[in-house]
Structures are given as C-alpha cells and as structure tokens.
Amino acid sequence: MTPLSQFALFHTRDPDHARELVARSFCAHRLEPLAEHDAFDARHHLARGAMIAINYLHYGATVLIDPQELQDFYLIQIPVSGAARITNGSSTFLSDRNTGTILNPDRRTRMIWLAGCEQFLVYVSRKVLSRFAEAVISRSLSTPIVFEPQISFARPDAELWRRKVCALYGAAEEGRLFVSDSALDQRLLEEALLSEFLAMQPSNISQFMNEPVTALNAGYVKRARSFIVENAAKPIGMSDIAEAAGVSIRTLQYAFTRNLTRTPVEVLRRERLMRIRQELASGHCEMTVAHIASNWGMTHFGRFSRYYEREFGELPSKTKKLANDARLV
C-alpha cells in the first residue's frame, strides 16, 4: 500500500494531466518525461494540516520538473526511494535516501526525478514559516529565511527529524492525524516539527536559533533583554537599557554578567551583528555592507568588521558575496 493512500488526489498516466493537477497543489511548472514514456505513472496523495501539508508523490518515469521560483512556499523533499538531481539557486546535488532537500522560494528551482523516485514532500507557506520563526526567535525578520538546500541525513539531528516526519505520515495513514478531531494535537506536533527544523537546518537565522538558553530569573533582566531586541536599530545606550529594566546601571551590569556572561553593551552588539548577518546572508542585499551596518548602529566600519569576523569566522563582505552568488543559476 502506498503512503497516505486514504488521501489520494489522483493517479494518471497522462503527463499533461499530472502537471495540471500537481500545479493546483503547488505552483505552475514545466513537467516533461525524459525517457521511458510508457513508464509514466503519476500518483499524488495530500493531507492538509494546520500549518503544513504532507504529500506523497511519484512519477514512475524519469521527468524534468521546472517551476522556476516557488515564490510563496518552502518545500521539504524526503526521498522514500530512488533519487533526484536538484538545483536550487546555485546549489546542484543528488538527493536520495541519504540526502533530502529544502527548496527556497526565492531561488530558481529545476529538478530531474529519476525513474523510480518517490518522495515525501512537506509544504509550508512562506508567510506561515516566517511568522512562526519570528515567534520562535522573538524578532521580526527583515529578509526571507534562506536555508542551505541540502539536508544530510547522516547528521543525527536530521535523521531524528526525518523519523518524526515519517511517524507523522504513519499517524495520518492510521487516521490519528490530519482529521477534523485532531486539530489540537495536530498544531502542537506541526509547531514542534517546524521548530526543530529551524534549529536543525543551517539558514540565515541560525545565529538566533543557536543562542544559548539561559535562565533569566530576574524580571528586570528579561525586560532589558526585550528592550535590546526591540530597539537594536536605535542609538540606545546603557542608561536607556537600565531605565527600561527599572534598575540601576550597576545592578543591570552585574545581572547580565552573571546570567548571560556578557555585559549589556556586548549583548546589544551581538544582537546588531546577528541582525546584520541575517540581511547579508539572505541574498537580497542591494545596499553596501557599510550601509547595512550603519542602519544597525555599527557606524565604525573597521571595528564592526573585526567584531563580525570574531563572531562568525568570516568578513561581512564574504557573507554577502556567498549569499548573492547562491541566488545565481
């Protein structure tokens, strides 16, 4: 029995019909069998949840799939069998049982699914993922989330995440999820899955996801931390942070050093550096590095570059170049 069989959308041997029906669930695209036309045998199964949609798809024959840019959604592809050649932006690689894919919506996509390729596809809209990520990291995002397209299941965290996805498919097949009376548990499971993916897969917001979780017992430390995050682009100083927290500068400095192992000024600087990296690593940077740094209050460019390299292991100009090059095909 094929996965998600009770959620079957279609089964067809007509490539044009398959392209039309798949486009209704995803986006307009070019679909072309490259060989073995008689082997074309497309199936698509789909279950929609609260935040994501899970899919099972195969074409039978070797096919070219060319949607250009997905624009409105991310698509996580987990091969069940067979393999596919994936291009997303400037990245091209073979996806198989050991290597999954996340397609960035702002990158040109082109795929060749080889004969026998079957995949689980996790669909999440760009808007939903961005809003959820903002809630997770407690920050607004000025640029799209851009992931490393290649997912290596040789990594223990990625393999564990894949197992959880497969368990979700199994629960759907058994009628325990993706049904009307599972709405409460459904959303919790989907949020956990997305949160773990954001933490696991490298992206231009990984620096926020990898922040150490520290117990902030004192309310004034939390208030100060929130004030820094919300006002990082403004010309704030120690006195502003202390006033927002409702304590003296000396008390605030002691609490930050004890709880966060950084002074308030160092926390503010790191927040600004992380925000700058998010923009530079998005591939959507038209402004100069100096201009972006200045927008986030880092006006001394030489000092900023040293801080940035110390924090991220590379110069900001390199981050921007690598990200912009990654959009080219």
Q: What is the CATH number of the domain that holds 142?
A: 2.60.120.10
Helix (H), strand (E) at residue 253 = helix 249-260
The Cα angle at residue 321 between residues 320 and 325, in degrees rounded to 5: 120
CA distance 51 to 66: 25
Residues 86 and 183 in one domain: yes
Residue 308: the pLDDT is 96
Say whether pLDDT at 329 is over 60: no
Q: Which of 71, 70, 64, 43 is nearest to 55 (CA)?
A: 43
The Cα angle at residue 112 between residues 1 and 154, in degrees rounded to 5: 70
* Cβ proximity of 45 and 8 under 8 Å: yes
* Global model pTM greater than 0.85: yes
Q: Which residue has the tokens 């919790």?
A: 188
More confident residue, 15 or 219: 15
CA distance 157 to 202: 12
How many domains is the chain partitioned into structurally? 2
CA distance 67 to 29: 4
The amino acid at residue 151 is I
Extended strands (E) in the chain: 8-12, 30-33, 42-48, 52-58, 63-69, 73-81, 84-88, 91-95, 99-103, 108-113, 118-125, 150-152
Say whether pLDDT at 143 is over 60: yes
Choosing from 208, 229, 259, the residue where a domain stops is 208
pLDDT, one tens digit per residue, over 28-84 is 999 999 976 678 999 999 999 989 999 999 999 999 999 999 999 999 999 999 999
Tokens standing for residue 173: 């097949």
CA distance 139 to 287: 22
Residues 77 and 140 in one domain: yes
Domain that holds residue 11: 5-208
Residues 76 and 114 in one domain: yes
Residues 217 and 189 in one domain: no
Tokens standing for residue 195: 């949160």
Residues 162 and 290 in one domain: no
Residues 44 and 188 in one domain: yes
* Contacts for 254 with CB less than 8 Å, ≥ 6 apart: none
Residues 186 and 276 in one domain: no
Choosing from 208, 224, 248, the residue where a domain stops is 208
Residues 202 and 259 in one domain: no
Residues 82 and 172 in one domain: yes
Say whether pLDDT at 182 is over 70: no
Residue 1: the pLDDT is 78
Residue 327: the pLDDT is 79
Q: Which of 202, 212, 303, 220 is nearest to 256 (CA)?
A: 220
Residues 131 and 52 in one domain: yes
Residues 225 and 153 in one domain: no
Residues 175 and 29 in one domain: yes
More confident residue, 316 or 329: 316
Q: Which of 42, 91, 89 is nearest to 69 (CA)?
A: 89
Q: What is the largest CA-CA distance in the chain?
A: 77
Residue 93: the pLDDT is 97
Per-residue pLDDT band for 112 (boundaries 50, 70, 90) equals: very high
Mean pLDDT, residues 202-225 taken together: 81
Residue 308 maps to which CATH number? 1.10.10.60
Choosing from 162, 192, 208, the residue where a domain stops is 208
